[in-house]
Structure formats: structure tokens, C-alpha cells
Amino acid sequence: MGSQSALKLDYLSRAELADRPAGWWQNVLGVAAFDAATSSLPCGDVPLIHVQTPVLGGNAQRYEVWRSAHGQSGTRGRIQYRRNGELVFGRLSIAESDVADASAKGSALQRATEAAYREIFSLIDSLSMPYLVRVWNFLPDINGESHGSERYWQFNSARQDGFVAFGRDVTGAVPAACGVGSASGTPLAIYFLASTAAPTVVENPRQISAYDYPPEYSPRSPTFSRACVAEFAEGRMLFVSGTASILGHETVHVGDAAAQTHESLRNIEAVLGAANRGCGARAPLALTDLCYKIYVRRLVDQPLIDREVRSALGEAARVLYLHADLCRRDLLVEIEASGCSNARA
């Protein structure tokens, strides 16, 4: 990613961030801190969200850093945000205990999720940046059950309610996203990017769109696209949603972490191909141009998954591994990717 790109992503250590000069932070839109990472950084009013998902591969205290020229920071309700002329980064966390109500219909997770999305849409509408481009959702105990259903299903239902309440589509023009597990008892944690312009949605020819999944995977389907491309004055950013070993709508290679990793990368390659076919005058992206965040269900699988990733992408691949439960119990790995092209072909 070039220095003039509209948006840049880095996975940095605490030591790397601590050495940054004060002026560098002026162009940071937002930061996600994983595992034991702390907030004692010279980041000023930069939005910082803590996500309780352990970092794997010997890289404790990693930070996901989104940078772009910015103009204004602020808060609205539970959301802390920073914006420039083209996009906004925001973050919020809601503890289920804060919305507990034994007399109310549904679960506390549903109330927390719908409240979160209502606040997100209210904010981005007020900023005239109404288009959600990318959303990261971290749900405690994602595969647990309560109120007669799985918690991930409850999240899907409430997220969809939040979209509908603000007149958003729940199929087709929906943002890239992921929904993965976080430590039990931690808050629902969400961070997001929204823009002044609608992104281009990209689907995967090898898969059924997630919002068209049959009800066996969730009575109300997930509200996300396989990928989105956001066009900025200085470049285009590709956001690939959490991608797993799924063909059509079915999980494949059950129990085989290496094969699931290979299939997930094939799916990302298919999405990248679809995105590049619509890139116009922009230079196409390659798999090696992307940054990868990889969610691993079983600790023991991480070295095997990393070997598959390095074999496909090279030793220099920019990868962050997190330990997290996934939306289906038979999925062992989920991979997301992001990359920017700011050159003309």
C-alpha cells in the first residue's frame, strides 16, 4: 500500500506503536487491541477497542491499526469515532449485563446487538456517511445456546432488525463483515468503517451468498456480503469478509484444518478474481498484496494452518492469528483479508 492511499492497514506490536512520533497518530483512524494489549499508548483521541481473542503464533499484544488522513474525532452514545472527508472508523462495546431484562422478549445478546446497530446507523446517518463498508463483530460464547436457540442465530436476528429499522437492505447491498467468538463473559465488541459513497459488493461464484443460506444455518440469514470494494480519491480498498471452507452453503473438509485452510484461500482467490474484473483503470490486486487475519478454533492447529498459508502466500505474508470460536461448530479456520490499490494500471 502506497503512502498516498486513502486507507492503510497494519498489524503492529506494542513496541512498534510506542516508538511512533506524536504526529504519526494524527493520521490514525482507529485501533483494535487484541488479547493482553493495553490502552497505555500515546494515541490521544484515536478510537481504541479491546477484543478478548488471544493472539497466536508468538505475537502477543498485537494491534490492528487503520490509518488515513483524518479531520475530526468524537463520541455519540457508546460509539467513539474518527472521520475524514471520505470515511469514518467507529467502535463500541456493550456488556449483556447492561441490557439484561428478565421481562423482555429475547436474550440480552439480541438486545445488545440491536442497540449496537441502531447506534451505528444513527451515527453514520448523522455524519452523512451512511454506507457501512466493513464491520467486525465479536460475540462472547458464539456457539452457546439460550432462549431456545444458538447465540449466533440470536445475533443474526438482531443485526437484521437493526438494518431494517434504519431502512437498510438485508440482501444484496450489504457490508463485508465477520462474526466470530470472543471470551465468555466479555462484552459484545463491534468496530466498523463507513463511507460517503456506496461500496461495490462482490460475491463468490463458488458459494451461495450468505444472506441466501437455508435456515438450517440460522433461521434469519447473516447480513453480509463476501467482499466490498470502496473507491476513494487516492485508491480502492478491498475488504474480504471472514471466509471459510464452504462450497455452495455446505462446510467441506470437516475435521481437516489443513484442507479447510486451503479451501478458504481458494475462496478468497475467487473473490479477488471477481473484484479485479471490476477494477477498471486501477491496478489489480494479488493475493500477496493483502493483509490476513486468521481465526483459529483449535490451538493445536495453528502451526499446521500457518504452513498452509505460507506455502500459498509466501513467507513474507502479513498475517495475524487469533484464537476464536467460529460461527459453525464444524469450521476450524476462518480467514479475512484487506488490501489497497492506489496505482493506475
- Which residues are part of the catalytic machinery? 334
**Torsion on CA atoms 232, 236, 239, 240, rounded to nearest 10:** 160
For the chain, the C-alpha Rg in angstroms (whole number) is 19
CB of 4 closer than 8 Å to CB of 235: yes
40: CB partners within 8 A, 6+ apart: none
Give the whole-angstrom CA distance, residue 315 versus residue 306: 10
Alpha-helical regions (H) of the chain = 14-18, 108-126, 151-165, 257-277, 302-313
Give the whole-angstrom CA distance, residue 52 versus residue 10: 19
CA triplet 105, 102, 114: central angle to 5 degrees?
45
Give the whole-angstrom CA distance, residue 56 versus residue 302: 7
Beta-ladder partners of 49: 32
The H-or-E segment that residue 32 falls in is strand 28-34
CB of 312 closer than 8 Å to CB of 264: no
